[in-house]
Amino acid sequence: MLKFLKAAVDDASGNPRGKIVAIYALLLATNAAVWLWAVFALADRPTLLGTAVLAYVLGLRHAVANKDDVVRVTQDVTGTKPDDPRPGFIYDLAMQQHSIGTDVPIPTEDLAWMNDELAKVGNIPKPDDLAKVLDPKPREDALKLLAQMH
């Protein structure tokens, strides 16, 4: 695990492809873990879970609608120069491939796998019944609220 994290943050690495893969894997794992935590923590409060989903969707919508802001922030964070075309290219590629979308299904298989892995390593006593916490209603409510806003 430490080698994986070192590959993600080591600027001296001679393997840029491995660094990119490590960063994306770390981002995806963190995102999945946070949403899994949110689902378990807010299982008895579907309104708050719907609000969290709505905030996430609104953030994605803002990112899709404001390319210049996203590219500028990316340049600030990565330290690239304003004339570097890579942040804009990556943004355009993500939009072209529909990498961001509100119609993407909830990754129930991935969540089930993570739930099993957390039980295997001892982070949770036993796998939880995801059917009790994976309720599509908060997401549907968030999308309805979003539709009402426009």
Query: For residue 107, which of 36, 22, 56, 24 has the smallest C-alpha distance?
Result: 36
Mean pLDDT of the chain: 79
Which tops the pLDDT comparison, 125 or 136? 125
Mean pLDDT, range 7-24, rounded to an integer: 70
HSE-CB at 74 with a 13 A cutoff on CA atoms is 17
Mean pLDDT, range 94-111, rounded to an integer: 71
Percentage of the residues of the chain whose pLDDT score is greater than 90:
2
Which of the four pLDDT bands, split at 50, 70 and 90, describes residue 9?
Answer: low
CA distance 48 to 79: 36
Mean pLDDT, range 114-126, rounded to an integer: 85
The residue whose two tokens read 């120069």 is 81
Kindly state the helix (H) or strand (E) to which residue 108 belongs, with its residue range. helix 108-121
The residue whose two tokens read 């404001």 is 66
Contacts of 117 (CB under 8 A, 6+ apart): none
Contacts of 57 (CB under 8 A, 6+ apart): 102, 142, 143, 146
CA distance 12 to 79: 16
Instruction: Output Rg (C-alpha) for the chain, integer angstroms.
Output: 18
138: which 2 tokens?
């908060």
Start-end of H helices in the chain: 2-9, 16-41, 46-65, 67-78, 86-96, 108-121, 130-133, 137-149
Mean pLDDT, range 138-149, rounded to an integer: 73
Which pTM value belongs to this model?
0.46
- Whether residue 135 is predicted with pLDDT greater than 80 in this model: the reply is no
Q: Supply the pLDDT for residue 93.
A: 79
